[in-house]
Amino acid sequence: MRDDSDWLPTRQSLLSRLRAWDDGESWARFHRDYGRLLFHYARKAGLNATEAEDVVQDTPSR
């Protein structure tokens, strides 16, 4: 069973704005707020540090 206390809530308003790929400000905020989390999940999934960093960099961060 999943423990929901391990999940960070993402604001619905931010998720809605991320639908627009050209909304650089929202993507930059997402990247700033969740980049480290993406990195840690990628590492936990078995990627090495370089591969995990590539995952973070491939996330739009304009």
The three-state DSSP-derived secondary structure of the chain is CCCHHHCCCCCHHHHHHCCCCCCHHHHHHHHHHHHHHHHHHHHHCCCCHHHHHHHHHHCCCC
Tens-place pLDDT, residues 5-60 = 455 566 788 878 888 878 888 888 888 888 999 999 999 999 999 999 999 988 77
- Higher pLDDT: 28 or 62? It is 28
Q: Which pLDDT does position 52 carry in this prediction?
A: 96
In this predicted structure, what is the pLDDT of residue 54? 93
